[in-house]
Amino acid sequence: MADENGLGGHLADLADSGRRRTDPLAAERIRARGEQRLRRKRAAMAAGGALLAATVVLGGLSLVRATRGSELPAAVPAPTASRFVPPTPAPGEEYATELGHVYGAVANGDSVEVTVERLRSVRGTATPVGVVHTLTLPRGTPVEARQLAGGDPADVQLGELVDQLAGGPRWMFAIDYDSEGRVQSLREAYWLTG
């Protein structure tokens, strides 16, 4: 019955017409884009797996290193006689100041090691507070001196005062520290009495 109506021939013509009208290049491009997406997805998964593996290995190494104990620091800090913590500037200020007797100066190459006995100023009189520490400073550290310079105000370098500061606690200074705890300058506290 299908042959009587010509349905079979009609379906064959329709299939042949569809094949002639399809663009083989478009179908090939669609297939190529699909394969490209699949390759990118596989590459991303492989890279993510490699990154995960590297992270796990580095994490494991850091844990092993931590259990072995800490390594020596690159630079050995200067020894101190006490657990001295440098003063820090107040908000809006450039420096924090420590009052102290500076003495026992010893030159070591390009640096000078001094002992500082912290003082407290009470109505113009300096009184020790019991904190003693050592500082290792560059020879070129600026010092504002007055009595050390013979009574006339002068700006000198710490290296020039090693001989005068080598003795016991006689000279009082205001020591200026920056926000990172480094000494920026020393100012002779000639206005204080000891």
pTM for the model: 0.55
Mean pLDDT of 18-26: 62
pLDDT of amino acid 115: 93
Is the distance from CB of 80 to CB of 132 less than 8 angstroms? no
- Count CB atoms within 10 A of the CB of residue 194: 13
Percent of the chain past pLDDT 90, that is, above it, reads 30
**pLDDT of res. 77:** 43
Q: What is the pLDDT of residue 69?
A: 55
Nearest alpha-carbon partner for 160 in 139, 174, 145, 130: 139
Which of 37-51, 70-84, 170-184 reaches the highest mean pLDDT?
170-184
User: 133: closest CA among 119, 115, 120?
Assistant: 115
Note the pLDDT tens digit of each residue in 150-163: 888 889 999 999 99
Give the residue extent of every domain in the chain. Answer: 2-68, 96-188
> How far is residue 104's CA from residue 28's CA, in Å, rounded to a whole number?
89
Summarised one tens digit per residue, pLDDT across range 100-142 is 999 999 999 999 999 999 998 888 888 888 889 999 999 999 9
